[in-house]
A = this chain, B = another copy of it.
Amino acid sequence: MATFTSKDVARLAGVSQSTVSYVMSGKRPISEETRRRVLDAIDRLTYEPNAGARALASQRTKVVGLVVPFGVGVDTTGLLPFIETIAGAARARDHDVLLVTADEGSAGIRRLAGRSLCDAIILMDLQTVDDRLAVAANVRTPVILIGVPADPHGMHCVDLDFAEAARLAVGELAATGHDRLALIGHPADIVLRDLNYVRRFADAARSAAAGHGLPLEIIAPVEWGREAAGDAAARLAAIDARRLGVVVPASNTVQPLLHALNARGLVPGRDLSVIGLLTDAAAAEGEPPVTNVSLEPRDVSRRAMQTLFRLLEDRTAPPLIDLITPQLTRRQTVLPGP
């Protein structure tokens, strides 16, 4: 399979090389006749423009850099929908996605921007205060954040509205007559890394509980897996409440905790309530199906890409902070109201 250049196409079509270029870009009126001839030649040679040459000449790579939280010992569950949606949105506008792992830290961002490997960068998994932000903000390549750090350094942020998620969960438990709430914390490493959404959720949960006049106990940190869930269940069992409402913001903890509670004879939806923060898909597949506030990875990703292309091509001004509203879905783990 030989590889052809626009010159080859030009020769075959009997036009100049620049005409080929203009046919492809549509940046100049072309007669129907030559247009046809060029497209035909392109077709016959299965010509594809060389990405490097194009990037060099046009200063556009048609590549989106995506910094994903690999290798930082972090929750990687639920990451796939983000990647998938971002890749899809990129393709829809003839862009590709270059993956960079977060364990590179700011070096990855410098490389993406410095080498002109991409036209824009999406940065995920932000800490509340993140070293990479200073670098990201000082780079020519536009950077979109998925997450809302304490100081966005002027960059565009897109994320789920975790504060609203907390309010929804607490509000539902308040409305169904619970007299005490417990908030299950994230694993220690997540808390230590101070991921931005942890704090956003917890703070809002606290003040929402206060607003409803409900005592809120924090059970934290809770690691993943059976044993930790067992311990947490024990601590929940020890709480003296008529109707206890438990909020679980760490998706991974939901299922093990439900099991652990069951094992203690505490049936969620009968003896106490559990609301989890997890995708609708995961919640519906739960055992039992769990009442949840949705993480909307697809919506968030789509919006991030929308912001990206508005910045890059449409040149309209997207909102600086763009929060997606989560949805509460009632399933089987919350006691019916009295």
Contact = CB atoms under 8 A, between A and B. Distances in A.
Interface of A: 1-3, 46-56, 61, 63, 66, 70-71, 76, 79-80, 83-84, 87-88, 91, 96-101, 104, 110-111, 113-117, 138-140, 224-226, 259, 285, 287
Contact of A55 (B52, B71, B224): B52
A63 B115 contact: no
Contact of A53 (B46, B47, B52, B113): B52
A101 B84 contact: yes
Contacts of A54: 52, 115
B116 A3 contact: yes
25 contacts: A1-B113, A3-B116, A46-B110, A46-B114, A47-B114, A49-B115, A50-B115, A50-B116, A52-B54, A52-B61, A56-B56, A70-B87, A71-B84, A71-B88, A79-B80, A80-B80, A83-B83, A83-B99, A87-B100, A91-B101, A91-B104, A96-B98, A97-B98, A99-B99, A259-B287
A101 B96 CA distance: 10
A274 B54 CA distance: 56
A110 B140 CA distance: 31
A145 to B, nearest CB: 18
Given A101-B91, A117-B96, A139-B1, A48 B110 contact: yes
Given A51-B55, A96-B117, 19 more contacts: A1-B138, A1-B139, A3-B114, A48-B114, A50-B115, A51-B61, A51-B117, A52-B116, A70-B83, A70-B84, A70-B88, A71-B84, A76-B80, A79-B80, A87-B101, A88-B101, A91-B101, A98-B98, A226-B285
A79 to B, nearest CB: 7
B1 A226 contact: no
Nearest to A65: B96
B101 A287 contact: no
B1 A51 contact: no
A317 to B, nearest CB: 22
Kindly name the residue among A1, A54, A61, A96 whose own CB sees the greatest number of chain B CB atoms within 10 A: A96
